[in-house]
Amino acid sequence: MQPRPRDTIRINDLLLIVPLLTGSVWPKPPGQAVLQPVLISLSIPHNISSTATTDDLSHTINYSFLCSLLRDSLNEKIPPLGTLENLSTRIFDLLLSRSSSDAPSLTEARLRVVQPRAPLNCKAIGVESRATTSSGSRWSTGYVKHFCEDLECSTIIGVNACEREERQIVRVNISIERWDSGLQRESWVDFRFMTRELHAKIQKTSYQTLEALTSYIAETALRHLSTDRTEQIQSPPLVTVRAAKPSAIVFASSSEIEICRTYSDYPESFIQGMEPGQNPTSDMATHTVALALGSNLGDRFYNIELALRLLETPEAFLGTKDATIAVVDTSFMYESAPMYVTDQPSFINCACMIETNLPPVALLKVLKLVETTVGRVPSIRNGPRAVDLDIILYDDAVIDTRGNPRKELDDLDGELVIPHPRLIEREFVLRPLNDMVPDFMHPLLHQSVSTLLAVLDIPADTTPMHKVIPFPQRPLPTDYTFPHSVAVVPPTLTHWTFPSSPRPTQKIAGPRTSKTRVMATLNATPDSFSDGATHNTLPTALEYAQNAVVAGASILDVGGYSTRPGAVFVSTQEEISRVGPCIAAIRTANAQLPISIDTFRPEVARAAILAGANCINDVYSFTGQESYPFPRTGSAAGGCMSDMKSIALEFAVPVILMHSRGDAGTNKDYEMYRYAGAGQEVLEGVRIELGAKVDFIVKGRGGVRRWFVIVDPGVGFSKTLEGNLEVLRDASAITADCHVGSGRDRCRNALAGYPQLIGASRKSFLGVILEQGGGRKTEPQERGWATAAAVACAVQQGAAVVRVHDTREMVDVVQVASALWERDVTDAT
């Protein structure tokens, strides 16, 4: 075989007018051809060496001859051609067929056929192909590329709010390349249809990034190309999308993205996807819906918990087994003064995400029935109510059932307007929504929830919204009746209030400030390093608890199994027998005091709650001792996790989730987070590792309500001295609304906005500091003053709770530190 010539002879953009059946700007009835201009470019590999040396034209390909061959054979008088593909076939026949006597003897040709301004909305479409022939056989194509240039669309695109206010032009080039199916019928591309569809679809999008838009265009084009599963697997076309946003950058003519995609890049949509032709949104599909919940009558926390539990049993209301509703995420809980009517009790507001197969109107019916069951008293509009449920978002649907003339927004009785029309003016709806889906785009305003919240105009005289954590009453009163078929909802004992975090985009000077509460620690462990086991008898325990309350502690933490490195193993039974009687005795003496059980064992947590505890404090965040590194996916997180989760959910108790890496003394290397910057890697490690666990506990079916979660960075656990100081010094960064991770894993801080507990009391790293530089060795009990310094720092960092041993002294420290640093967030600007 001859080597392939390195030289090429070209004819560029030969203009011909040919009768074509398709592609005209104004379509004709089928079968009627229209004369249309096409530009033909040829490129032919040919060794010009002999012509070059002899300077004799007879040795080369006479391009003047080629042009007249094409012009004579393809003109107005030829029978109409179906498509550009038919035209390409005809040209290859002319050039490469041996049968025709006047054909030049070529073995290879590349051809580009362009039809300018063919479909509306784009500059040109065309087909590029390469055909070869070997002696005796008919020519065949080895490569075909269909393309369309400068499809012009206007759409909402951009990250900045100002960019999203109006549409801007996006220009798109699309090409579709195939290697072995040639110019056959199956691989034709109907650009008129495809560009029309793409144009309409792109207009409706509202992506933030060109990246997302190009990916969407590539997927839509692939979807358009084939419904044939064998083709998807055997000879998939490659789609290249190049999109430019000419108005993006003031000093450059445009910004552009180019991507190449094929079916396997969209595994969800193709290959393993639906059978061709099947409607992907059949009636039983799952929808994601955001609901707002509010209550301002009676036991408001009880009402909301009951509403959520009833909501998950829609079959009880609809009489059908097919209806499903699952709560998959919750917001923080907020207390706020009512917005429109001011002389009534303050509102509790929160929001949740549910997954349901119910259509909007059926869902609305369930919500109304839940409201009635919980005991909504229909009274003055916006007046007191036991519970109020509203559909805020339903997928990204836009729904208005009001018909014409439209009902007033204030009197929607039975009608649905989605997204909720008052969403953008109500902080008590936007803020909880922002806790769960800050990046969700409002389908009509094309702005994200976090942007809408940031630009919300909150009048200066509005009562600020506070975050609240409710504590249930435990044990249940003996005469307690609960007339519903769902798991018993406990009445509320008390609730804690914290300032709500500042607006997401608002930067305030210094750390967030809040009223810090004191957690007194009671070790029911004979080997406890912290108090020398002096409380291991009921009378001393009772006395300790009483003193702590008098001193000003807000909660008592009872533990029966030390987590200190090298602590003696304690069996579950032993742990229960240490904490159970102790908690029961303290509960009997003090009905009002929140008591947390410090354990990582589900059995112990359950027994302690039944004995009277109403909070779980778990140093392993429900993943058990052996859980480092935490598996992000799958059931590998173990039974411990799901048991603790269901106990927390069932008993509706707050949970304190701590960062640790298994054994307290080990796993101190945070090198992998070095990218976060020097002095930030431990902080970053805590945010990412604890964030993954908290997400696992809060999100998805059977998740713990977000408003019950307090996070603890785990000072003194799996961290070096420097690491402990780093976390303590900058603790407010643990729960900041910032981004974490790097590269593809970069995402919002999962711990953003959670109240934080800091427990540095008597820890050994304080002892190490005291000992450094020739200082003295200290026993834990001797580290009170050292603890005071750490507690002052925790208050300055805005900790919601500090866990201490020397309650009376530390209450004093907290009071003075609070006076020093506690400012209202609004004063800090």
Ligand X SMILES: *[C@@H]1O[C@H](CO)[C@@H](O)[C@H](O)[C@H]1NC(C)=O
The catalytic site residues sit at 763, 803
Stretch that binds ligand X, among 1-9, 336-344, 464-472, 577-585 (CB under 6 A): 1-9
CB of 2 to ligand X, least distance (A): 6
Give the nearest distance from C-beta 682 to ligand X in angstroms: 46
| Residue carrying structure tokens 């004369």 | 35
Of 402, 290, 426, nearest to 355 (Cα)? 290
What is the spatial distance between Cα 556 and Cα 550, in angstroms, rounded to a whole number? 12
User: In degrees rounded to 5, what are phi and psi of residue 15?
Assistant: -90, 125
Beta bridge partners of 492: 472
Say if residues 82 and 21 touch (Cβ distance below 8 Å): yes
Which residues from 126-165 bind ligand X, rule CB under 6 A? 149-150
Please state, in angstroms and as integers, the Cα–Cα distance from residue 477 to each residue in 474, 584, 589, following that order.
8, 14, 15
Instruction: Answer yes or no whether residue 812 interacts with ligand X by CB under 6 A.
Output: no
Q: Which is nearer to ligand X, 139 or 301 (CB)?
A: 139
Q: Does 62 bind ligand X (CB under 6 A)?
A: yes
260 in contact with ligand X (CB under 6 A):
no
Q: Which two tokens stand for residue 81?
A: 């051609």
Instruction: Give the list of residues 6+ apart from residue 659 with CB closer than 8 angstroms, or none.
Output: 621, 686, 689, 690, 711, 712, 713, 714, 717, 718
Q: From the list 12, 32, 49, 209, which residue makes contact with ligand X (rule: CB under 6 A)?
A: 49
Q: Would you count residue 28 as binding ligand X (CB under 6 A)?
A: no
Cβ burial of 584 (10 Å; 0-12, 13-18, 19+) is middle
Structure tokens, 85 = 């593909």
Q: Which is nearer to ligand X, 49 or 826 (CB)?
A: 49
When asked if residue 3 is in the footprint of ligand X (CB under 6 A), the reply is: yes
Q: Does residue 58 belong to the site contacting ligand X (CB under 6 A)?
A: yes
Kindly report the length of the chain.
829
- What is the closest distance, in whole angstroms, from the C-beta atom of residue 81 to ligand X in the complex? 5
The window from 64-72, 361-369, 606-614, 788-796 that contacts ligand X (CB under 6 A) reads: 64-72
- Closer residue to ligand X in complex, CB, 60/818: 60
Reading the block at residue 39, the tokens are 């530009």
How far apart CA 256 and CA 216 sit, in angstroms, is: 15
Q: Which is nearer to ligand X, 49 or 666 (CB)?
A: 49
Task: Between 174 and 683, name the residue whose CB sits nearer to ligand X.
Answer: 174
Amino acid identity, residue 385? Answer: R
Residue closer to ligand X, measured from CB, 186 or 400 = 186
What is the SS3 assignment for 222?
Answer: helix
Q: Are 670 and 681 in contact (CB under 8 A)?
A: yes
For the chain, state the CA radius of gyration.
35
Minimum CB–partner distance for residue 59 and ligand X (Å): 9
Binding mask 86-115 for ligand X (x = CB under 6 A): x-----------------------------
Task: Kindly state whether residue 640 participates in binding ligand X, applying the rule CB under 6 A.
Answer: no
Q: Which of 8, 50, 506, 588 binds ligand X (CB under 6 A)?
A: 50
Residue 8 or 50 having the CB closest to ligand X: 50
Choose the binding region for ligand X from 44-52, 270-278, 287-295, 562-570 (rule: CB under 6 A): 44-52
Answer for which of 46, 145, 146, 171 binds ligand X (CB under 6 A) is 171
Please select the residue that binds ligand X; options are 28, 65, 497, 679, rule is CB under 6 A. Answer: 65
Measured CA to CA, the distance from residue 260 to residue 240 in angstroms comes to: 4
Shortest CA distance to 11 belongs to which of 46, 55, 50, 35?
Answer: 46
**Binding status of residue 51 toward ligand X by CB under 6 A:** no
Instruction: By CB under 6 A, name the one of 244, 363, 641, 813 that touches ligand X.
Output: 244
Q: Which one of 58-66, 151-159, 259-267, 808-816 is the stretch in contact with ligand X (CB under 6 A)?
A: 58-66
- Taking the complex as a whole, the smallest distance from the CB of residue 128 to ligand X amounts, in Å, to 12
> For residues 822 and 803, what is the distance between their CA atoms, to the nearest angstrom?
19
Q: Which residues pair with 39 in a beta bridge?
A: 15, 114
Alpha helices per DSSP H over 333-392: 360-374
117 is an interface residue for ligand X by CB under 6 A: no
CA distance 149 to 122: 6
Return the residue of 68, 134, 537, 666 that touches ligand X, per CB under 6 A.
68
Q: Which span sits near ligand X by CB under 6 A: 56-64, 395-403, 557-565, 616-624?
A: 56-64
Give the range of 35-43, 81-89, 370-378, 503-511 binding ligand X by CB under 6 A: 81-89
Assess 19 for contact with ligand X (CB under 6 A): no
121: left (phi over 0), alpha (psi -120 to 50) or beta: left
Contact letters for ligand X, residues 741-780 (x by CB under 6 A): ----------------------------------------
What six digits make up the tokens of 255?
């910004």
End-to-end CA distance of the chain: 80
CA distances from 604 to 5, 353, 387, 575, 697 (A): 82, 31, 34, 7, 19
- To the nearest whole angstrom, how small is the minimum distance from the Cβ of residue 34 to ligand X? 13
**Which x/- pattern, by CB under 6 A, does the window 176-205 give for ligand X?**
---------x--------------------
Verify binding: residue 475, ligand X, rule CB under 6 A: no
Restricting to residues 402-431, name those near ligand X by CB under 6 A.
Answer: none
254 vs 288 by CB, closer to ligand X: 254
| Cβ at position 221, least distance to ligand X in Å | 15
For helices 784-796 and 807-821, angle between their N-to-C axes, nearest 10 degrees:
30
Span interacting with ligand X, options 78-86, 279-287, 433-441, 534-542, rule CB under 6 A: 78-86
Q: How far is the CB of 254 from ligand X (least distance, A)?
A: 7
SS3 state at 674:
helix
Helix, strand, or coil (residue 289): strand
Binding status of residue 590 toward ligand X by CB under 6 A: no
Q: Does 173 bind ligand X (CB under 6 A)?
A: yes
Binding flag, residue 256, ligand X (CB under 6 A): yes
Given 71, 196, 224, 242, the residue binding ligand X (CB under 6 A): 242
Cβ atoms within 10 Å, residue 251: 4
Instruction: Report the residue number, 173 or 516, with the smaller CB distance to ligand X.
Output: 173
DSSP percent split of the chain into helix, strand, coil, nearest 5: 35, 20, 45
Query: Closest separation between CB of residue 107 and ligand X, Å?
Result: 12
Q: Which two tokens stand for residue 648?
A: 């927390």
Q: Smallest gap, in angstroms, from Cβ of residue 7 to ligand X?
A: 8
**What residue type is assigned to position 171 of the chain?**
R
Q: Rounded to 10 degrees, what is the CA torsion of 313, 319, 323, 329?
A: -20
Cβ–Cβ under 8 Å, residues 641 and 616: no
Copy the structure tokens of residue 609.
């709650």
Which segment (50-58, 406-414, 480-488, 594-602) binds ligand X by CB under 6 A? 50-58
Residue reference for tokens 């949104």? 281
Residues 597 and 685: their CA atoms lie apart, in Å, by 26
Sign for the CA dihedral angle at 115, 116, 121, 127 comes to positive
User: What are the two backbone dihedrals, phi and then psi, of residue 413, each rounded to the nearest 5 degrees?
Assistant: -20, 105
Least Å distance between CB 11 and ligand X? 13
Q: What number of other Cβ atoms are within 10 A of residue 197's Cβ?
A: 15
Interface residue with ligand X among 15, 25, 35, 57 (CB under 6 A) is: 57
Contact segment (CB under 6 A) with ligand X among 63-71, 277-285, 634-642, 744-752 equals 63-71
Min dist CB 53 to ligand X, Å, is: 8
Task: Catalog residues that contact ligand X under the rule CB under 6 A.
Answer: 3, 5-6, 47, 49-50, 57-58, 62, 64-65, 68, 81-82, 86, 149-150, 171, 173, 185, 242, 244, 256
